[in-house]
Structure 1
Amino acid sequence: MATFLIGLVILIGGGALYGTLCERVFGPDDRETPAYSKQDGVDFVPMATWKNCLINLLNIAGTGPILGPIQGILFGPIALLTIPIGNVLGGSFHDYFCGMICTREGGLQMPDMIRKFTNKGVYAVYNVFVSVLLLLVGAVFVYTPGDIAATQLFGFSGLATDPKTWVIYAVIFIYYLIATVFPIDKIIGRVYPIFGIILVFSAIGIFAAIVFKGLPVVNIWDNWTTSQFDYAAYFKAGHFVPIFFVTVACGILSGFHSTQTALIGRTIKTEHEGHMTFYNMMMCEGFIAMCWAAGTMAMIQVTAAKGGIDFKMNPATGVMSYFQMVGGKEVAITATSVVGVICKYCLGPVGGMIALIGVIILPITSGDTALRALRLSLADTFKMDQSTNGKRFALAIPIYALTMGILVWAKFDANGFAILWRYFAWSNQTMALFALCSITVWMIANGKKAFIWMPIIPLVWYTIVCVSYICNAQIGFNLPWNVSYIISGVAAVLLIVLSIRGGNKRLAASHELNK
């Protein structure tokens, strides 16, 4: 329990201090924002701060800060400290500067920001990368909430052969299409505040149960080898770096967030709102991740026999699985089903159902804006007019056809979703490297070279994480760990050198223009 509370102090106190530093370094002022200078009633629309905050929070908070921590807490109580530290120094910093730079540069989308602060080659790679990632996000965030709704809300099988599964998917797709095409303040701005209340209720409910019910949470100074689960053995065997940081992506640092903060950069009324809208909302996601991580650990310590869960070898499959007590027997369940156990144990039948609905909503409210961001990025890249519903539909339809194709493959292939999720998690983190390099260049070009250590810290760490992971992974190059770590270290140094060189070139070019 004490480690969990220390982590919250790091998140809140550290976030307050570092967030203030980020704001001072960027230097928001009173210039007119794109919401006014480019107001079009569709994407460039001034909206209230509280709406922007809730929309941004729900845009970035998909199943990542829930399913990621459910798996990541198996590495032990160290997760309750690494989540807030990484969130403050990495994720919140990343979200703030991406959102603020895109706002100041006229409401740029991330591909245009990458093009402006890197070069054509990097821009071309990023454009392909972000398009694939956003398609994967769209598919994952139809699959996940659809299955949770089918199996835990309606009691269906959730199988690919069950027509009811596809009816649920179809309803989610229809909502996505509406939210992707119609003006942001007409759909998203009206619905999201309601979803936001449910999201906050879910996280606070789990937090209250942990604190006031005294649920058992292992401290970092305790013996990690408990009678319920051997966290120490899992930590030693699991390659904490990089596996943990890929697994708990969205609670610490997520490249996907940059595509969403860029959207909000077109609706904030003043740059001074950026601290609350971008930095603090990522801190909220860190809080959500910490609550689900601690909640999962508490359920493991409670055990399945007493209403919690067990994590052990499944004799039927030979792999480690979660187990829940059903009808007096232990039954293997998926990580998504763990969500239901935590909700009902912590909040009771009614509160648990409300929280479960919130968990279903979370990925839906990220999937719609992911596909919206993809439409806007493609439109900006190819200079496509999006002024009418017909033109927006014409671009949205092929995007949805591709998303549906990925979903169908993942659903019918036995290992489809596992492969889909691994590529999604890795590409999500890797995309942040593009943004962190661009932020470094922007800082140098704007006379803030003394502070480039701020983006370089997460840039180095996540280059090691992403490169070592893909070098070792079977879905990557399947190299030994020692070779993978060496390659990742070289890649980190290379990115630092290239980013600093690019920033110096831009700074020198601006000096020439001012002569």
Structure 2
Amino acid sequence: MPSVMYFIISVASLIIGYMVYSRVVERFFGADNCKATPACTMADGVDYVKMSPRKIFLIQLLNIAGLGPVFGPILGALYGPWALVWIVLGSIFAGGVHDYFSGMLSVRYAGKSVPDVVGYNLGNGFKQFMRFFSVVLLLLVGVVFVTGPAALLASMTDWTLLVWVVIIFAYYFLATILPVDKIIGRIYPLFAVILLIMAGGLTAMLFIKGFDFYPAAQWTNQHPKGLPLWPLMFITIACGAISGFHATQSPMMARCVPDENCGRPIFYGAMIAEGVIALIWATLGMTFYDTPDALNATLAAGGPGKVVKDVSIALMGPVGGILAILGVVVLPITSGDTAFRSARLTIADFLNYSQVENMKRLIIAVPLFVVGAFLSQMNFDIIWRYFGWANQTLATIVLWAAAAYLVRRGMFHWIASVPATFMTSVCTTYLCYAKIGLGMPLDVSTWIGIAAAGGSLILFLAKRKSFEASPA
């Protein structure tokens, strides 16, 4: 089979997965177009603002598509074509389910943030944990999505990294405190279209210039440094397959959804679109560079940002390359600002603190940005490693919450509990094995991960009756 078919089959699988499996997920959730959404019942002109489904989809895509579906798949390409398999299966059976439920449960719970969504389904202990955990994750995301694009812009201009960091932080602050339809609602749809055009343009140039797709692909672990595929690949390729960060973003758009039938294309659909973007960048990493060693050498010289720059300019020329790079810069910037905005909303929900008045938004936003400015001075690689584990752990908890919700409704919970079990194993194994965790041997870490996953599933099944006894 020609190697290009790997790419074609992968993209086709994502599309078919959306057309078929998203309807299964929607049916088990029980979307009801007759139920009034928070955008209709709680409109406040700031955060609860009804928008068109097409506009919400484009905003949601930019909200969730930060550096994850670009930098993550580039790093994941070092492991070889198994990265493509995880992006496809993860997006359809884990990421899409996670994103749909995180968005639609927020719709059902008056647009509440992820700690409340989890708390309603898993109890007050998880709710309190998630309040702290989700805010920390959002701050890490906001900081990662300042330093990443600032470095790219600094490499393209005469302005220093510090100047770009200050400019991006200033924009983030405005996007955090202004009504959602003033900046985000106006410019995000345009940015989303640019992003999709650039991703498509880079893919088209691979065909036009006659590149041999995946020239060194082998169905083994191809990482040049010998890093284990399990569990590292599943943490590295975060937003391209499943990401807890999405659960922090979905409630923001849940407050703008006009009716429940829009949830499938908005939440599940945006995850599949992000999966396509991740496939493109994983393919570029494995196709533009002849071998994993060549890709690794470029990463060593300048990180994923250098890969983006080199690939874009080589395939699309100076002008097209700059446009492609700007399209990639848009990704993190348009997730970083909503990360800080989501952190503001999460804290406001916790304090039951109205955000209609400007001063009340400032009281929460200013301290957030002070902490963010401090964290931005940390090493990017260290922040990214912590973000990867925290991100997938949050996704795991949200999947368990979705499974509990399905049990409460007497529905088929396995669509959420199976990926939740798998991700429990991934996150536990990584925490035990990684240097930022316990640093244990891989085989020991793996068995602990399997035990944690199995134990979590057994505990969940044992609590089914208590879940069934409480309303959904």
Q: 1:111, 1:127 within 8 Å by CA — same for their partners in 2?
A: yes
Answer yes or no: is 1:379 the counterpart of 2:348.
yes
Selected match of 2:218 from 214, 224, 227 = 224
- Residue 340 of structure 2 aligns to a residue in which SS? helix
SS at structure 2 position matched to 1:252: coil
Does residue 267 in structure 1 map to residue 256 in structure 2?
yes
1:462 equivalenced with 2:394 (yes/no): no
Secondary structure at the aligned position of 2:240 is classed as helix
Q: Which residue of 2 aligns with 1:422?
A: 385
Q: 2:21 corresponds to which residue? A: 18
Q: How far 1:435 sits from its partner (Å)?
A: 0.3
Indicate the structure (1 or 2) with the bigger Cα radius of gyration: 1
Contact 1:443 1:503 in 2 (8 A): no
1:226-241 equivalence runs, <5 A:
232-234=221-223, 237-241=226-230
- Partner deviation per Cα, 1:212-231 (whole Å, 9 max, x = no partner): 43322227xx8639xxxxx7
Counterpart in the other structure of 1:322: 298
Pairwise CA distance, 1:332: 2.8
Q: How far is the alpha carbon of 1:233 from its aligned partner? A: 4.3
Q: How does 1:188-267 map to 2 (within 5 A)?
A: 188-218=184-214, 224=218, 232-234=221-223, 237-267=226-256
Q: CA RMSD in A?
A: 2.0
Q: Distance in 2 between matches of 1:171 and 1:435?
A: 34
Counterpart of 1:327 in structure 2 is none
Q: Which residue of 2 aligns with 1:397?
A: 366
Once the two structures are TM-superposed, the CA of residue 499 in structure 1 deviates from its matched residue by 3.0
> Which among 353, 370, 376 is matched to residue 407 of structure 1?
376
Report which stretch shifted further, 52-61 or 22-31.
22-31
Contact 1:42 1:184 in 2 (8 A): yes
Query: Which SS does the other structure have where 2:301 is aligned?
Result: strand
SS in structure 2 at match of 1:278: helix
Alpha-carbon separation, structure 2, partners of 1:223 and 1:118: 43
Match of 1:370 in 2: 339
**Distance (Å, rounded) in 1 between the aligned partners of 2:256 and 2:114:** 15
- Alpha-carbon distance in 2 for matches of 1:509, 1:60: 32
CA distance in 1: counterparts of 2:463 and 2:258, whole angstroms: 32
CA distance in 1, matches of 2:285, 2:385: 21
Counterpart amino acid of 1:445? Answer: R
- Residue aligned with 2:294, SS: strand
Counterparts in 2 of 1:481 and 1:350: CA distance versus 1, 3 Å:
same
Q: Scaled by the length of structure 1, what TM-score is found?
A: 0.87
Is the 8 Å Cα contact of residues 441 and 500 (structure 1) preserved in structure 2?
no
SS of 2:364's partner is helix
Letter in 1 for 2:202: I
Matching residue of 2:303: 334
Paired letter, 1:122: F
Pair 1:179 & 2:175 matched: yes
User: 2:133: which partner in 1?
Assistant: 129
Give the corresponding residue for 1:148: 152
CA contact (8 A) 1:441 1:502 kept: no
Residue 88 of structure 1: how far off its partner (Å): 0.5
Q: Is the 8 A contact 1:255 1:432 kept in 2?
A: yes
1:98, distance to aligned residue in structure 2 (A): 1.2
The one of 438, 446, 452 aligned to 2:413: 452
Give the structure-2-normalised TM-score.
Answer: 0.95
1:456-493 C-alpha deviation (Å, 9 max, x unpaired)? 22112211111101101111001111111111112112
| 1:499 matched residue in structure 2 | 460
**Alignment gaps of 5+ in structure 2:** none
Query: What are the within-5 Å matches in structure 2 for residues 48-67 of structure 1?
Result: 48-67=52-71
Shift in Å, 1:15: 2.3
Q: What is the deviation of 1:155?
A: 4.8
Aligned counterpart, 1:317: none
The superposition leaves residues 28-78 of structure 1 with CA deviations (integer Å, 9 ceiling, x where unpaired) of 112111001111111111001111001100000001100111111111122
Equivalent pair of 1:465/1:488 in contact (CA under 8 Å): yes
| Alignment check: 8 A CA contact 2:224 2:293 kept | no
- Which residue type is aligned with residue 93 of structure 2? L
* Count of residues in correspondence between the two structures: 468
